Amino acid sequence: MAILGGVFFLIEALMSVTSVIGRALFNLPVPGDYELVQMLSA
């Protein structure tokens, strides 16, 4: 169970980093990233 939580944490961290980089470089964030991070954190 702890491993699954760690995997979800890594996924949400990578998605946030990808969204920030995409927004900064290409003005194209990951669609729905805020909602997905909220769902993975719950």
Domain ranges for the chain, please list them: 2-41
Q: Work out the number of other CB atoms within 10 angstroms of the CB of residue 19.
A: 19
Q: What size, in residues, is the chain?
A: 42
User: Whole-angstrom Cα distance, residue 5 to residue 17?
Assistant: 18
pLDDT at position 42: 78
CA angle 33-16-36, nearest 5°?
A: 30
Residues 6+ apart with CB under 8 A from 11: 40
Q: Phi and psi for 16 in degrees, rounded to 5?
A: -65, -45
Q: Which tens digits make up the pLDDT trace of 1-42?
A: 999 999 999 999 999 999 999 999 999 988 988 898 888 887
